[in-house]
Amino acid sequence: MSLALGRTYLAIPGPSVMPDQVLQAMHRPSPNIYEGELVELTQSVIADLKYVARTKHHVAIYIANGHGVWEAALANIAEPGDRLLQIATGAFGHGWADMVRSMGIEVDVLDFGRNSTYDPEAVREALQNHNYKAVLTTHVDTSTSIKNDIAQVRRILDETGSEALLAVDCIASLGCDHFEMDDWGVDVMVAACQKGLMVPAGVGFVFCNETARQRRHTLNRVSSYWDWEPRIAPDLYFQHFCGTAPTHHIYGLRAALDLIKDEGIEQVWRRHEILAHALWAAIDVWSHTGAMALNVADPALRSHAVTAASLGAPHGTNLRRWAETKAGLTLGIGLGMATEEDPRADGFIRFGHMGHLNAQMMLAAIATTQAGLMAIGAPLASGAVDAAAQIIAQNA
Ligand SMILES: *Cc1c(COP(=O)(O)O)cnc(C)c1O
């Protein structure tokens, strides 16, 4: 018997739930792409993207997913012959480094595993020993749900006198976790629209400051499609996108940014924080019997937008299947925790709790997970839903 009919919750870490306002804004015929409303909307979207990123500097918009803006950022700050440093705390850190190599650029990867943040001393030592052109890292690595202290990376760069640019992947964290591009001294930041920004996948962003723009001007060659300069300072509107504008995404983004601005970015961060704590309180209770364990032990190092957890194989896969087919809740697969052929891969899940999410959605996801654990015969502790409800009651 399936009880899945009704409004479902896509609780994977991207794409996230689309607000009705976004869906409705995108449900329209194509506009004139040369003048009028779309041109004005684009300017307002650019201004509000900077509001969300906490920067006074620049943003280039690409018709691309997260992988696309990884490449876009690299194309403007590095070239063959350069050496970069990647601080990896999960699969996405490694993925970005793979892309660096594929562009013929050298990269040293500091791998800090799947359960902890980076070791500042190891980063300091690497910076003292090599002349890196850029340090790349993820704010939140979505595979492990580890959140890294970005301001501290900037301090280490300054203390070691390194001139490396600081480039940060905020694809999973922008519009969810507290982030300060300018105050934390971030030179380049990449994000995409389908996570905290609540718009279907298809548009990505590269934010950059003047230091990064100067680096761009020292490069021998930047392909005209990836070049951020015309996108940042176009003479003609189409140069924002090196061609036809992503018309419907601009309408969708306008609606999503209105939601964020109406709520206020600090309040958006706080909402994510409280809802994440509710989930963690429930998982803490489940962990008493070994039904489930959080991937990251220290709450200060956990993302507020995605939570990676382990149940032991095959409970992870069984829970996901049950929740989706019986109850309309789609949970995320584990990523980068074990190879696909490894039977242990069936033991991991991720909860996506980014973007358009409120207390009743989170409580329903937790209670549904509780039902799923019962149904699949996981070793159960009681009180998880109560623990989550208490967090909501205390903080709402
Ligand atoms: C989702 C994600 C990516 C990849 O984005 P795609 O749109 O799937 O290419 C990269 N980095 C992080 C941190 C992500 O969360």
Q: Tell me: the pLDDT tens digits for 44-102?
A: 999 999 999 999 999 999 999 999 999 999 999 999 999 999 999 999 999 999 999 99
- What pLDDT shows up at residue 358? 98
Q: Which atom of ligand 1 is nearest to the CA of 92?
A: 11
What is the CA 274 to chain-centroid distance, rounded?
18
- The CB of 142 under 6 Å from ligand 1? The reply is yes
DSSP assignment letter at 300: G
Q: How far apart are CA 247 and CA 113, in angstroms?
A: 40
Å from CA of 37 to ligand 1 middle:
31
Q: Is 352 in the pocket of ligand 1 (CB under 6 A)?
A: no
With 0-12 / 13-18 / 19 or more C-beta atoms within 10 angstroms meaning exposed / middle / buried, residue 222 is middle
Domain extents in the chain: 20-262, 264-395
Task: Reply yes or no on whether the pLDDT at 338 is more than 90.
Answer: no
| CA-CA-CA-CA torsion sign (217, 220, 224, 227) | negative
Q: How confident is the model at residue 37 (pLDDT cuts 50, 70, 90)?
A: very high
> Band of the pLDDT at 342, cuts 50, 70, 90?
confident
Of residues 47, 56, 14, 64, the one with CA closest to residue 197: 14
281 vs 277: CA distance, rounded Å:
6
Query: Which of 144-158, 269-283, 374-388 has the weakest average pLDDT?
Result: 374-388
Strand partners for 110: 87
Neighbours of 65 (CB within 10 A): 18
Decide: residue 344, CB within 10 A, 0-12 exposed, 13-18 middle, 19+ buried: middle
Q: Collapse the DSSP code of 304 into the 3-class scheme (helix H, G, I; strand E, B; otherwise coil) and give the result.
A: coil
Longest dimension (CA), the chain: 64
Instruction: Report CA(367)–ligand 1 centroid distance (Å).
Output: 28
Common-topology check for domains 20-262 and 264-395: no
> Tokens in use for 135?
């340090």
> From the CB of 92, is ligand 1 less than 6 Å away?
yes
- Burial, 90: exposed, middle or buried (Cβ in 10 Å; 0-12, 13-18, 19+)? buried
**pLDDT class of 343 with cuts at 50, 70, 90:** confident
* CA dihedral (377, 379, 383, 389) positive or negative: negative
Helix boundaries (H) for the chain: 20-26, 37-53, 66-77, 91-102, 120-129, 150-159, 210-218, 228-232, 247-263, 265-287, 315-327, 359-376, 384-395
How much is the pLDDT for 337?
86
- Ligand 1 contacts CB of residue 67 (under 6 A): yes
Cα gap 65→42, rounded to integer Å: 19
Could you tell me the distance, in angstroms and rounded to a whole number, from the CA of residue 92 to the centre of ligand 1?
7
- Whether 193 and 204 have beta carbons less than 8 Å apart is answered as yes
Q: Whose CA is nearest to atom 12 of ligand 1?
A: 171
Tokens of 174: 């922008």
Model pLDDT, residue 340:
77
* Atom number in ligand 1 closest to CA 142: 15
Choose one of 96, 142, 147, 176 to mutate for the ligand 1 pocket test, by most ligand atoms within 8 angstroms of C-beta. Answer: 142
Does the beta carbon of 52 lie inside 6 Å of ligand 1? no
Task: Give dist(CA 225, CA 62) in Å, integer.
Answer: 9
Query: What is the DSSP code (8-state) at residue 272?
Result: H
> Which CATH architecture does the domain made up of 20-262 adopt?
3-Layer(aba) Sandwich (3.40)
Asked if residue 24 lies in contact with residue 255, where contact means CB atoms within 8 angstroms, the answer is yes
Can you say how many angstroms the Cα of residue 157 is from the centroid of all Cα atoms in its chain?
Answer: 23
At residue 339, the pLDDT reads: 82
Q: Work out which ligand 1 atom sits closest to the CA atom of 139.
A: 13
Closest by Cα among 170, 168, 172 to 15: 172
Tell me, in angstroms, the distance from the centre of ligand 1 to residue 68's CA: 9
DSSP code of residue 356: S
% pLDDT > 90, the chain: 95
Q: Is the CB of 138 under 6 A from ligand 1?
A: yes
CATH superfamily of this structure's domain 264-395: Aspartate Aminotransferase, domain 1 (3.90.1150.10)
What is the arithmetic mean of pLDDT over 340-353?
91
For atom 4 of ligand 1, which residue has the closest CA? 66
The closest residue, in CA terms, to atom 5 on ligand 1 is 66
**pLDDT for 134:** 98
Kindly give the number of the ligand 1 atom that is closest to the alpha carbon of 14: 1
Split at pLDDT 50, 70, 90, the class of 378 is very high
Hey, which of 171, 335, 350, 351 would you mutate to test ligand 1's pocket, going by the most ligand atoms within 8 Å of its Cβ?
171
Task: Determine the distance from the C-alpha atom of residue 383 to the mean position of all C-alpha atoms in its chain, rounded to a whole number.
Answer: 31
Mean pLDDT, all residues of the chain: 97
